[in-house]
Every structure is written in C-alpha cells, then in structure tokens.
Amino acid sequence: MDRAEQLLKGKPFFVGDEAAVLRFTRPVRRRRRLVQAGFLVGIAGLGGGFTVLQAAEVWVVGLGFGGLSSGFILTHLAVGKRKWMRPVEAFEDGVEASEVTRFFCRRRFLPWKRVESIKLAPAAGGGARLVVGFAPSRSLESAPGEVDAAALAALEKRWAQVKAEAEAAKALFDAVGRESPRDG
C-alpha cells in the first residue's frame, strides 16, 4: 500500500495472518511450475510429432502451436491466480481482500456500505476462509486459516455499526422530510 492509500484509509484495525497466506500460496506456485514444464514438454512433443508425421504445412503447425499456446495461457492463469493473494485488511471505512474470478485474482477495497454478507466458509483442504459478499455473485476472499472466529466477530461488529449508522441517517432524513412543509 502506498503512502496516499495509507492516508486515505488509515490504519487497519485487523490484518489477516500472513503466514497462513504464504502456506496457501506455496502449492499454487508449484502448480504453476508444473503447468510451465508441461508447456515446454508440449512444445517438444508437438515439434517431434510434426517431424515424425512429416506435417510441415504452415496451417497445421500454426494450429498446433496456437492451440498449445492458448491452452497454456488459460491453464496458467486459472492455476496461478491465487498466487497474488495477500492478507485481508479491515479499516474503519471498509475491507480490503482478494477478489477471485475464473482467471484472475486482484486486490480490492470494498466500503462497508456495499458489504452484503460476511461469513466463514469451509475451504478445500480444511480450514475456513473469510468470504465478504458484495454483489449477487461477487465476493472478496481470504486464504484458508487466515481469519478466525474472533476476527470474524470484530468484522461483523464494525459492519453492524455501519449498518446502524446508515439506518439512523435514513430515519433522520425521512423524519426531516415529513416535518418540513413546502411553502409555495
């Protein structure tokens, strides 16, 4: 986080367990290396296959290597996306965590006003991960084992405070709107 972001957000009141994130991302790096090695083996196999079959037409070689390259890119992204996860941080204004999609994982700050749900969900391989929902099918995630029940309670407490403040502001707005008649 650069200096401007620190000044804007302030100090986090909760930071996830960095060791849990590192334990979670280590196997992801290994899987990425396997995909990279598989790509190199695929190039050698494709080249050897073209030599044995004597298929030197440009379109055949182009389709073979194009398919292999496209498959590598998609597989590499899908397998390695969680490599970029960092610990969850919770601020007075919102929460910052990783949004994981089909091929990408990016860090995202979400204001408390946009949070729809906070829960601990079971993770593959054991442990639980924090899931902060903010749209019908979108969420921010933590690494498994990074957030415990006490941290979840602190996050839920801050989220409840923000919801109560919003409800109070809405009630005040509604009350003022009803009390003041318009002069014409």
Q: Are residues 74 and 137 in the same domain?
A: no
Number of other CB atoms surrounding residue 123 within 10 Å: 18
The residue out of 83, 110, 125 marking a domain boundary is: 83
- H/E element, 140: strand 138-141
Number of domains in the chain: 2
Q: Tens digit of pLDDT for each residue in 130-169? A: 999 998 889 999 999 888 888 999 999 999 998 998 888 8
Amino acid at 180: S
Q: Are residues 100 and 37 in the same domain?
A: no
Of 85, 101, 79, 91, the C-alpha closest to 142 is: 85
- Is 70 exceeded by the pLDDT of residue 18? yes
More confident residue, 9 or 17: 17
Q: At 22, phi and psi to the nearest 5?
A: -65, -40
The structure tokens 């909760």 sit at 14
- Is 50 exceeded by the pLDDT of residue 64? yes
What is the spatial distance between Cα 138 and Cα 87, in angstroms, rounded to a whole number?
A: 19
- What is the predicted pLDDT for the residue at 125? 74
The residue out of 83, 109, 139 marking a domain boundary is: 83
Percent of the chain with pLDDT over 70: 91
Q: Are residues 79 and 94 in the same domain?
A: no
Percent of the chain with pLDDT over 90: 38
Residue 2 lies in a domain: no
Whether the full predicted model's pTM is greater than 0.75, yes or no, is: no
Q: Are residues 69 and 111 in the same domain?
A: no
The residue out of 56, 83, 110 marking a domain boundary is: 83
Q: Are residues 54 and 71 in the same domain?
A: yes
If you average pLDDT over residues 62-83, what whole number do you get?
Answer: 90
Q: Is 79 helix (H, G, I), strand (E, B) or coil?
A: helix
The length of the chain is 184
Domain of residue 113 covers: 87-179
Mean confidence (pLDDT) of the chain = 86
Q: Are residues 73 and 91 in the same domain?
A: no
Q: Are residues 95 and 43 in the same domain?
A: no
Residue 147 lies in a domain: yes
- What is the predicted pLDDT for the residue at 184? 47
